[in-house]
Amino acid sequence: MSATEYFDDPTVCRLDTQRKMVEPCSIVIFGASGDLTARKLIPALYHLFKEKQLPPAFRIVGFARREKTDASFRAELRTALDQFSRTQPVDDAVWLEFATHIVYCLGDLTDPTAYQKLEERLTAFGNPSLRHNLLFYLAISPSQFGAAVEHLQQAGLLSRRPTNGWQRIVVEKPFGHDLASAHALNAELTRYADENQVFRIDHYLGKETVQNILMFRFSNSVFERLWNRESVDHVQVTVSEKHSVGGRGGYYEEAGAMRDMVQNHILQVLALVAMEPPVSLEAESIRDEKVKLLKSIRALTPVDVARQVVRGQYFAGVMDGQPQPGYRQEPKVRPDSNVETYVAMKLLIDNWRWSGVPFYLRTGKCLPLGASEVRIQFRPTPNVLFAAVCGSKLDPNALTLRLQPNEGISIRFNGKVPGTQVGVRPVRMHFSYDSEFGAYTPEAYERLLLEAVAGDATLFIRRDEVETAWHIVDSIRRGWEGKPLSNREFYAAGTWGPMAAEELLAQSGHVWRDPQPVK
């Protein structure tokens, strides 16, 4: 079923009827020869075009320094689309029409004349909107952002206060490698563009199930009434990755799991799960509440880091019956590397709703299952009646939001075992996105690109969000400085992490609930 068919259903309440209409525009992709363009951007734009979500007049301009013609660039993209499109096979008729909107502009990012050439190409389209409504997607290294936006401004393609049309900049993570570099990067971008023109993309926020966190919380009174310290015992956020570092050893030596996953994806999910209701569905209202939540996380001193944060690194083990080398044996990794491939932490939120409720976050590579989920575990029943008899066998109620894969929501409660004898056991009610909505699940980049074209910043990260998240991460990294990994922090590939992570929860009488394969 298509998106249009869903919204024809009289039971569906449309919330985006006031969203800005997408206007004719040009989408300029810097780094058009790169992997991101082939794997994500062009497939996303193709599907938006196929679903008739793009404006009637648009152009996609690939900007890169390799010698290509329009025809050869289109041929490369078609080959990539055959591999990476979420629907197969690619519709030839749709592609041929879509490809007429794609052109290529040869240019070096550091060459001012290349931007003049780009300006001439945009003007040659004839339609004034294709010249003045411009979305610049910087699929390039963050070290090149400053030069790109400066040259765009000098070429008359970017203005902080445009008099004709609009200009927006989309940038990919990483947004710096610490608070100081993130602050410098943001200052560089906003020197030539206004903050409301900068769209910082985190593909996690484009996932349907991540967006559904707010919908689930604030449109269902039965759950929102329980979403607080009086009913919730603790919260677990798990983002587990089955694959190893592999060929990304060089990058991982610089980033580690803390910078790669916690600073962006995991803290964003935490903010959505724990934030207060926004005053409206406007982008700034939602982003205001996310920032307030992040600022409410209790600051960690080096002593707190030692007690509340665990890092880990995988050593050689077995994955799916095959030997898996340890992190230190991966290409481009130092043989004595101290970089974390696993992080677990206990965070406390100092606000009225969550005072005293621990939030446990963890992520790691070479774990048994690749999954992302949020588990809300409710307070146990009083130690009378069934709890007095069953003890620990009476499982606490829990609600699990499965973000990927097998997206859905599960509620765990206790029920009577059928039969003449009296027994109780945990049972589960499960809602599956696939079963309920079928195959229509757009990729994250489809939604994010469409929102950027429409000028809706709800799913993008604001400057103060980025810097607040880095403040949290930097305090943890400072606590690690000069301290090598201990034996308790190593874990075998194919296991759920180091012993130290289990001990972290045991301090409060809790245990990790590992994601399970969904049959």
DSSP designation for 349: B
pLDDT at 433 > cutoff 80:
no
**Confidence tier at 385 by pLDDT (50, 70, 90):** low
Catalytic: 265? Answer: yes
Say if CB 251 and CB 339 are below 8 A apart. no
Closest CA to 296 of 472, 458, 462, 176: 472
| The pLDDT value given to residue 204 | 79
pLDDT at 391 > cutoff 60:
no
| The pLDDT value given to residue 86 | 87
pTM (predicted TM-score): 0.89
Domains of the chain are 3-172 (3.40.50.720), 205-445+462-506 (3.30.360.10)
Secondary structure element (H or E) that encloses residue 250, with its range? helix 249-257
Q: Per residue in 446-473, pLDDT tens?
A: 989 999 999 999 889 999 999 999 999 9
Structure tokens at 118: 């780009």
**Confidence tier at 6 by pLDDT (50, 70, 90):** very low
Query: What's the rounded Cα separation, in Å, for the pair 56 and 70?
Result: 21
Average pLDDT taken over every residue of the chain: 88
Region 267-285: mean pLDDT is 92
| The pLDDT value given to residue 429 | 82
- Out of 265, 430, 471, 510, pick the active-site residue: 265
DSSP designation for 26: E
Q: Per residue in 317-357, pLDDT tens?
A: 999 889 999 999 999 999 999 999 999 999 999 999 999 99
pLDDT at 403 > cutoff 60:
yes
Query: What's the rounded Cα separation, in Å, for the pair 305 and 397?
Result: 30
Q: Per residue in 209-265, pLDDT tens?
A: 787 888 888 888 888 889 999 999 999 999 999 999 888 888 899 889 999 999 989
Q: Report cis status (omega within 30 of 0) of the bond before 55.
A: no
**Confidence tier at 299 by pLDDT (50, 70, 90):** very high
Which residue would you say has higher pLDDT here, 167 or 281?
167
Q: What is the 3-state secondary structure (H, E, C) of 360-371?
A: EEEEECCCCCCE
Q: What is the 3-state secondary structure (H, E, C) of 284-327?
A: HHHHHHHHHHHHHECCCCHHHHHHHEEEEEEECEEECCEEECCH
pLDDT at 445 > cutoff 70:
yes
Q: Report cis status (omega within 30 of 0) of the bond before 89.
A: yes
Query: What's the rounded Cα separation, in Å, for the pair 67 and 467?
Result: 38
